[in-house]
């Protein structure tokens, strides 16, 4: 196959930027890249001088005609656009519109304009943690788990993933079949991770300390953003040759990041930046956290007419942080030869350097 054009709705987000840079660095056949996003980043300008034609298109995935115009003529679409909101900033309707209707629009755009390959960024949240708080311990893509959601974000990701998988095999313009596949990252970390930045600033405000809220025994799956981006690029590359095997499949995104609690994992980066985690056990009893999370939810609802109150702690984030969810799989390696591009040491060093940069840029 010769030169290819690719489209990336969501290319200006945390993951999207890494996918864009990875495509430009590691996909020699790429001749054109269309980056489609609601908010275009200023960093895009520096990409426009290279050998690949980079087109930045400001647009909204909920507008079908805008998506179709952006996607037309591309060979493969990597759809990383989404509304990642577990804090109640956006309404459930908006989350559904962006994540579900937006994904339907991307699928229809591929079908109408003849784009044959679609890679969708799904999420571990499609599986769990579920509302019953069942642990998912070192699970893989075939591990049975009762996936029951109530929160708008996982509900929307599950619906969107289903749309993508069901679209596999649909005929696109020109008569060829659409080949789709969904990648499910666990909690992504790395350069540009907003929540890590928030924890860092919170720690600075608290005099260099963070207080343990979750038992160290609760393990949380994490994956480095560079490896998630690399998996997307590999899938986009391999989907054509391995359509029969990969079409309609889901893959967890994984690497060699250690299994740890959410807070202990964050300390891998925040400790070298001068923060410490106080307490070997949670400082507050769990029932009090549950109470405070419920209180936050109530306050959010009461204050909504006046202001947006969206703290980190709410019943949903507490449940996710407090439930073991880790993956152990080699499906991506078996199906398309994935190996993490960045070792744990490298991922850690890059993330620490980035947090240190956040510190100096905010001084
Ligand atoms: N951050 C994480 O830990 C994880 C994220 N994911 C998924 O990865 C994808 C990317 O997430 P992040 O990069 O973390 O989020 P992000 O918020 O940094 O990036 C999402 C991008 O989508 C764009 N976008 C949002 N609404 C849009 C609209 N209506 N039209 C066009 N563009 C729109 C945003 O402007 C942003 O650039 C999402 O689909 C998310 O569900 C999956 C697992 C974990
Ligand atoms: C914000 C949570 C940590 C604070 C907990 C507190 C208040 C007790 O200290 C985060 C813990 C787990 C995170 C989620 C997880 O990594 C899985 C995700 C996958 C996605 O697709 C989107 C993001 C997220 C839901 C992520 C969001 C923040 C946490 C809930």
Tell whether omega for the bond before 129 is within 30 degrees of 0, i.e. cis.
yes
Is the CB of residue 81 below 6 angstroms from any atom belonging to ligand 1? yes
Token duo for residue 138:
């070192």
User: What pLDDT shows up at residue 131?
Assistant: 77
| Mean pLDDT to the nearest integer, 221-235 | 98
Q: How confident is the model at residue 358 (pLDDT cuts 50, 70, 90)?
A: confident
Identify the band that residue 149 occupies on the pLDDT scale cut at 50, 70 and 90: confident
pLDDT of amino acid 132: 83
Among the bound ligands, the one closest to the CA of 106: 1
- Could you report the per-residue pLDDT of 24-58, keeping only the tens digit for each? 999 999 999 999 999 999 999 999 888 999 999 99
Is ligand 2 within 6 A of the CB of residue 252?
no
Given the CA of residue 192, which atom of ligand 1 is nearest to it? 18
- Residues sharing a CB contact under 8 Å with residue 192, sequence separation 6 or more, in sequence order: 14, 17, 18, 225, 354
| Rg of the Cα atoms in the chain | 20
Q: Which of 137, 145, 153, 286 is catalytic?
A: 153
> Does residue 153 have an active-site annotation?
yes
In the chain, the DSSP E strands lie at 4-9, 30-37, 53-58, 76-79, 117-121, 136-139, 179-185, 187-189, 209-211, 222-224, 249-253, 276-278, 325-327
Q: Is 97 in the pocket of ligand 1 (CB under 6 A)?
A: no
Find the angle CA(234)-CA(181)-CA(322) to the nearest 5 degrees: 95
Query: How far apart, in whole angstroms, are the C-alpha atoms of residue 20 and residue 199?
Result: 26
The DSSP element (H or E) to which 344 belongs, if any, is: helix 344-361
Q: Ligand 2: does its nearest atom lie under 6 Å from the Cβ of 77?
A: no
CA geometry: angle 90, 180, 111, nearest 5 deg: 85
Give distance in angstroms: CA of 150 to centre of ligand 1.
20
**What predicted TM-score, i.e. pTM, was given to this entire model?**
0.96
Here the ipTM equals 0.98
Q: How many CB atoms lie within 10 A of CB 58?
A: 13
Number of H helices, E strands in the chain: 13, 13
Ligand nearest to the CA of 164: 1
Give residue 1 CA to ligand 1 midpoint distance, Å.
30
Question: How far is 201 from 204, CA to CA, in rounded Å?
Answer: 5
Centroid of ligand 1 to alpha carbon of 279 (angstroms): 33
The span from the first CA to the last CA of the chain, in angstroms, equals 50
Nearest CA, atom 36, ligand 1: 13
Sign of CA dihedral 216, 217, 220, 225: positive
């Amino acid at each position: 196959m010769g030169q290819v054009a690719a489209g990336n709705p969501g290319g200006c987000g945390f993951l999207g930027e890494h996918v864009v840079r990875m495509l430009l660095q590691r996909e020699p056949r790429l001749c054109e890249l269309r980056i489609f996003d609601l908010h275009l980043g200023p960093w895009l300008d520096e990409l426009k001088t290279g050998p690949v034609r980079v087109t930045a298109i400001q647009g909204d995935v909920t507008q079908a005609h805008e998506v179709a115009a952006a996607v037309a003529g591309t060979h493969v679409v990597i759809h990383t656009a989404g509304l990642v909101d577990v804090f109640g900033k956006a309404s459930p309707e908006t989350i559904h519109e962006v994540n579900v209707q937006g994904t339907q629009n991307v699928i229809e755009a591929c079908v109408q304009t003849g784009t044959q390959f679609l890679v969708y960024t799904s999420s571990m949240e499609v599986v769990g943690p579920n509302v019953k708080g069942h642990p998912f311990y070192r699970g893989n893509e075939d591990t049975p788990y009762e996936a029951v959601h109530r929160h708008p974000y996982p509900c929307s990701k599950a619906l969107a993933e289903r749309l993508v998988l069901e679209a596999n095999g649909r005929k696109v313009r020109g008569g060829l079949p659409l080949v789709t596949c969904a990648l499910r990252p666990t909690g992504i970390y790395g350069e540009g991770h907003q929540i890590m930045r928030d924890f860092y600033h919170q720690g600075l405000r608290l005099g260099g300390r963070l207080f343990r809220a979750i038992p160290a025994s609760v393990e949380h799956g994490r994956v480095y953003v560079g490896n998630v981006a690399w998996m997307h690029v590999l899938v986009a590359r391999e989907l054509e040759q391995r359509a029969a095997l990969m079409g309609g499949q889901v893959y967890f995104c994984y690497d060699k990041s250690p299994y740890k609690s959410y807070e202990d994992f964050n300390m891998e980066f925040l400790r070298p930046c001068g923060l410490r985690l106080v307490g070997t056990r949670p400082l507050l009893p769990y029932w009090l956290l549950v109470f405070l999370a419920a209180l936050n939810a109530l306050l959010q609802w009461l204050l909504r007419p006046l202001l947006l109150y969206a703290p980190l702690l709410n019943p949903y984030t507490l449940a996710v942080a407090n439930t073991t969810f880790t993956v152990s799989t080699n499906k991506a390696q078996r199906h398309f030869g994935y190996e993490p591009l960045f070792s744990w040491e490298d991922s850690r060093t890059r993330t620490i350097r980035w947090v240190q940069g956040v510190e100096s840029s905010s001084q």
